[in-house]
Amino acid sequence: MDRTKTGRYIAYLLRHRPDAAGLTLDEHGWAKTEDLLAVTALTMEELEKIVRTDEKQRYSFNADKTWIRANQGHSIQVDVELTEKKPPAVLFHGTAVRFRESIEAQGLLPGKRLYVHLSPDVETALKVGKRHGKPMVYRVNAGRMYGDGVVFYLSENGVWLTKTVSPEYLEREQTDTEQLK
Ligand code: HQG
């Protein structure tokens, strides 16, 4: 497997389906490093390199590297001990144009994941949106949400997370998507 594919497989196992390879995660999302090495046929050096160089810093080891987990993005119920944090006044959410009607009626929902993922800048949000088709970006009035008592978390790898975003806090961001490609 090439490194991207291996990285995807690790994300799949650590966030969504550890059981697919007979792994178990503890309540905080940790898998035994030696078990992950066994099921991926990676050496420790290769796994360390993936963790170190992952472009989104998706994974963390514990201090002595005997355990590994995904920093965020889970669909299974684990408590990765996210840090509650006051968000910036504005955050962004990238999505696909085809979800617009539903999002503007229901707000942002976490879908299969545990949280709605929000980006600190438009460029990142656009990249996230492109994964789903023709992208569009919403500006999220995070400051007002926070003032209204909504809890935000910042993951180890800089993704802002919150349970849901109701439509009153959303505004379409006018971006020149061509220019930002
Ligand atoms: C959409 C990647 C209809 C939502 C990225 C999104 C991110 C609705 C899709 C991370 C909706 C869920 C997460 C509603 C939300 N009606 N559609 N009411 N509310 N949606 O993949 O945010 O590479 O679960 O807009 O960088 O796209 O995996 O979430 O389009 O940080 O590390 O439902 O995944 O990181 O899709 O992406 P996803 P996401 P990784």
Please list every protein residue whose CB sits less than 6 Å from any atom of ligand 1: 56, 58, 73, 95-96, 99, 102-103, 106, 108-109, 111-113, 117, 128, 131-132, 159
> What is the number of structural domains in the chain?
2
Residue 124 lies in a domain: yes
3 token code pair: 């490194």
**Centre of ligand 1 from the C-alpha of residue 26, in Å:** 25
7-40 confidence digits (pLDDT tens): 899 999 999 999 999 999 999 999 999 999 999 9
Q: What is the separation, in whole angstroms, between the first and last Cα of the chain?
A: 29
Q: Which residue, chain included where needed, has tokens 């497989």? A: 9
**Centre of ligand 1 from the C-alpha of residue 132, in Å:** 8
- E strand or H helix that includes residue 172: strand 170-172
176 token code pair: 């020149």
Supply the range of the domain harboring residue 123.
91-173
Q: What are phi and psi of 132, to 5 degrees?
A: -110, -5
The CATH number covering residue 119 comes to 3.20.170.30
- pTM score, two decimals? 0.90
33-77 confidence digits (pLDDT tens): 999 999 999 999 999 999 999 999 999 999 999 999 999 999 999
